[in-house]
Structure 1
């Protein structure tokens, strides 16, 4: 198991130095809010943590209720062929997670069991993964972003209605990005509103959600910092793609300090995909043109961690205004804020 805490890692790199103060990750684990599984970026969640996530979900629902979205929920896996078509592997092969399973015969099982016995006789960090040679790819992969299952489904329905279409989706997602930063989890939840329609409809949607996302974060007593961003494209050509994404202003992020007071973590993202997904799956507007798409993504774990970082690990001691938004009349408070801000 990879059980080194952030504090221990700092000690290992600076032997003989004075002990460091416990990190935010250490404090979360010590308080029982996050449960250490022994693998960096993979955590259990306590009742306290899950309660905050659920109440955030309620607030986000009220924030988008007037958009009359279609609510869809998918498991955290999608068809391998849809994943291949999405071109995710062209841009982020380092983050993808595939699902393998044993598909052999009895002789293969015996080889697997021998390899497994050998592995179990070794220490956790040095175990030989030879038993996995008996595994084969299945027809499923882990979902990298909550919106990905939507596009092939929409394509099968035929042309969009004249006003386009808005979808509310929530899913666990996976990205192979092990880290000591608690805000950079390998398994995490994304709540998204996804817009499909013309370029004008999608651009207006994105600007509306930049305003609404900022409003929600302000109601939660957190700092608001929206900035132009780019995705972590892979390889030598990745910088060229990222620079192009920034020049075209396709991605914005709402940044909040979480694990490190001197750094900022993207807790919400506002994305315009142009006709990328519409072109891949031939999603059409009512006039036959290729649909454009965009989405706002709420990082549920990251927003929760930001609240715990800025307001403290005891949720009962959070500011009254913040508790009123999450544990009070959430609907009334969100609707009042929307009416005042006119967003």
Structure 2
């Protein structure tokens, strides 16, 4: 099925077939959304919580092919590979100042740490259908909000960077608390990043290189795309000033691809210059002792997967041959 020809509407809540109206006439069918189509085809598996989905073999084949393709594109970077679980130490998270900027997105891991009496109270509340969550306590880990966050404290502990700086290849599941019926706004999603640490000149050259590579990748995948200046979703009134400053300094660019029904195109890649933020939080220093600057090129593996399904259809056999070959012959 080629979903590009489907009539889709984000407001639709599912098919309404055979339902009569008060006048006795059949009610018009409710338009199917892209998310409905993905679920109907078994590509995404609903769990009952918006933004949390299981994935099918077809979906994972595309995602794994995309990850392998990004590895191929970045093979010349001589990057150090780092792979972290989707949790990070709470003290590093607190130091990062993420809660100052994005408290609405954070996820903290809680566990039961009580005694037998407290366990009895928890179970009793559970059986009565009452709230039991206040019986859990925060642990020393939080859910990773962005793949690059664990990298900076690790490298800071190693001491000064080499003269050429450093590039890190990092991948992680990430969590952001923004439940939505838009399939591209998952609460738990995969992010692949190349992170650059060094001088301002090194970071800006790195970012420009990856902007060009990202645009070529979108061309090769045969999806419509635009590059645009962007800002992160900083919280509150003060956050608007920070976001405006981020745009004024042209620190963040996003590559946008149409995915969601009747909505603006979705950011599937981002190219970021953090200036010296992370070297202010942690002692990241260049070889000559100056504060290191950092930047990253980030690829939303799940958003790119969805972008391909939206623009090429749910039946992989109908995709362009060149795109299928790029993704490992899926």
Could you say whether these structures have the same fold, taking a TM-score greater than 0.5 normalized by the shorter chain as the test?
A: yes
Deviations 1:275-317 (A, max 9, x none): 0001110100000001000001100000000000000001121
Relative to structure 1, is the Cα distance of residues 261 and 319 closer, same or farther in structure 2, using a 3 angstrom cutoff? Answer: farther
Aligned to 2:13: 8
Asked if residue 55 in structure 1 is aligned to residue 65 in structure 2, the reply is yes
**TM-aligned CA deviation for residue 19 of structure 1:** 2.9
Aligned to 2:106: 96
Could you tell me which runs of 5 or more consecutive residues in structure 1 were left unpaired when the two chains were aligned: 120-127, 331-343
What SS does the aligned partner of 2:103 have?
Answer: coil
Q: Is the CA contact 1:52–1:304 (under 8 Å) kept in the aligned structure 2?
A: yes
Q: Is the CA contact 1:6–1:180 (under 8 Å) kept in the aligned structure 2?
A: no
Relative to structure 1, is the Cα distance of residues 262 and 107 closer, same or farther in structure 2, using a 3 angstrom cutoff? Answer: closer
State the distance in 2 between where 1:74 and 1:6 align.
37
Aligned to 1:226: 227
Asked if residue 40 in structure 1 is aligned to residue 45 in structure 2, the reply is no
State the distance in 1 between where 2:276 and 2:15 align.
45
Asked if residue 190 in structure 1 is aligned to residue 200 in structure 2, the reply is no
State the distance in 2 between where 1:10 and 1:185 align.
23
Aligned to 1:107: 117
Relative to structure 1, is the Cα distance of residues 249 and 6 closer, same or farther in structure 2, using a 3 angstrom cutoff? Answer: same
State the distance in 2 between where 1:163 and 1:9 align.
55
Count, aligned residues? 313
Relative to structure 1, is the Cα distance of residues 189 and 102 closer, same or farther in structure 2, using a 3 angstrom cutoff? Answer: same
Q: Is the CA contact 2:14–2:32 (under 8 Å) kept in the aligned structure 1?
A: no
Q: Is the CA contact 1:102–1:135 (under 8 Å) kept in the aligned structure 2?
A: yes
State the distance in 2 between where 1:104 and 1:6 align.
45
Aligned to 1:307: 308
Could you tell me which runs of 5 or more consecutive residues in structure 2 were left unpaired when the two chains were aligned: 1-9
Aligned to 2:4: none
State the distance in 2 between where 1:195 and 1:36 align.
37
Aligned to 1:249: 250
Q: Is the CA contact 1:6–1:26 (under 8 Å) kept in the aligned structure 2?
A: no
Q: Is the CA contact 2:225–2:258 (under 8 Å) kept in the aligned structure 1?
A: no
State the distance in 1 between where 2:316 and 2:15 align.
29
RMSD: 1.8
Deviations 1:138-190 (A, max 9, x none): 00000000000000000000000000000000000000000000000000000
State the distance in 2 between where 1:166 and 1:6 align.
43
**TM-aligned CA deviation for residue 327 of structure 1:** 2.6
* Structure 2 length-normalised TM: 0.92
